[in-house]
Structure 1
Amino acid sequence: MKAPHKRRHLRPLSAAAIVSILTFTGFGATVTTASTAQASTVSVRALEIAASKQGSPYRWGATGPRLFDCSGLTLYSFKQVGRNLPRTAAQQYGYTRHISREARSAGDLVFFASKQGIYHVGMYAGNGKIWHAPKTGTVVRLDQIWTGDKVLYGRVD
């Protein structure tokens, strides 16, 4: 005779855990994550919004909902989840809580700098990749972080 089946009580999953599971199983291919469990729900939701804009054309100065420049994409994505960011990449860097490369998680902002200052921003998607609006003639897309030099990270609290 078989022992009776024990019923387990499962805890609800967080939004970050669901994104991780969907990504792992291939259902959430637009969002890749490294430490999604550590990301705030707001940042993960903003990342999902940025990813949903895949293929939207780049236009300098555009803030959505159909056209974007780099900081316009991050501004738009966070605005949709109730967070207001300043307009430019440099202003957004000044607004965020600066974090180390090791502390980055899905939804954090990734800034690229030169001697002249911050010139580009994207949203960290995990596995060394970002969602961003690169430049004129391109579209919103997921790319590998292409440099290790002058890459800075910021978290929207």
Structure 2
Amino acid sequence: MRSLHTLALSSALVWWLAGCSTPPAPRAPTAPPPASRLTDEMAHDIAIHALGLVGTPYRYGGNTPDSGFDCSGLIGYVYRARVSVAPPRTVAQLSGWGQPVAGEQLRTGDLVVFGKGRAPHHAGIYVGEGRFVHAPSTGGTVRLDRLNAHYWSAQTVAFRRP
């Protein structure tokens, strides 16, 4: 009886160890980040310039620090000033500009576009560490927000790399 019990325990141990030695399932390869016309240095300059505009008043249709900014005007101003690239003027057009980027591949200077499908409603510039600069609304100013803030984390978001 004792040998039968020992045999059963030995069999269970071998089975358990065999399960532990099974190699892990292969991970899906991570896609390389999309190509960009901007160098890392240019993308960094975009983020720094956007941060320097925090506090500028919001103005619908605005596209200069003197007149104020709306969200797409802010993006256009920063890209033209830092890298001589003229992005599209509307959020709808910005939502198709450049290449899509996965959230884990974000880098400074990428665009953050909020809204669903063909109806995006807001955009900003990613500046790193889960933060973005944007011109939010009438009566407000250009500000720095977190993607994981309650309001923004509830929005549909897409990321674009020009």
* Same topology, TM > 0.5: yes
Whole-Å separation in 2 of the counterparts to 1:119 and 1:43: 23
Q: Which 5+ residue runs of structure 1 have no aligned equivalent? A: 1-38
Q: Paired residue for 1:42?
A: 42
Query: What secondary structure sits across from 1:84 in the alignment?
Result: coil
Flag the 1:99–1:148 CA change in 2: closer, same or farther, 3 A.
Answer: farther
In structure 2, the residue matched to 1:72 is 73
SS at 2:54 equivalent: coil
The residue correspondences of 1:114-153 to structure 2 (distance < 5 A) are 114=116, 117-145=119-147, 146-153=152-159
Shift of 1:65: 2.6
Unpaired runs of at least 5, structure 2 = 1-38
Give the alignment's TM-score, normalised by structure 2.
Answer: 0.68
- The verdict on how the C-alpha distance between 1:44 and 1:86 changes in structure 2, with shifts beyond 3 A counting, is same
What TM-score comes out, normalization by structure 1 length? 0.70
Closer, same or farther in 2 for the Cα pair 1:92/1:115, shift >3 Å?
closer
Q: Which runs of 4+ in 1 moved over 6 A?
A: none
Deviation at 1:91? 0.5
CA distance in 2, matches of 1:139, 1:108: 21
Question: When the two structures are aligned, how many residues end up with a matched partner?
Answer: 118
Which residue of 2 is the match for residue 16 of structure 1? none
Partner of 1:24: none
| Alignment root-mean-square deviation, CA | 1.5
Asked if the contact 2:92–2:118 (Cα under 8 Å) also holds between the matched residues in 1, the reply is no
**Which of the residues 88, 103, 106 maps onto 1:104?**
106
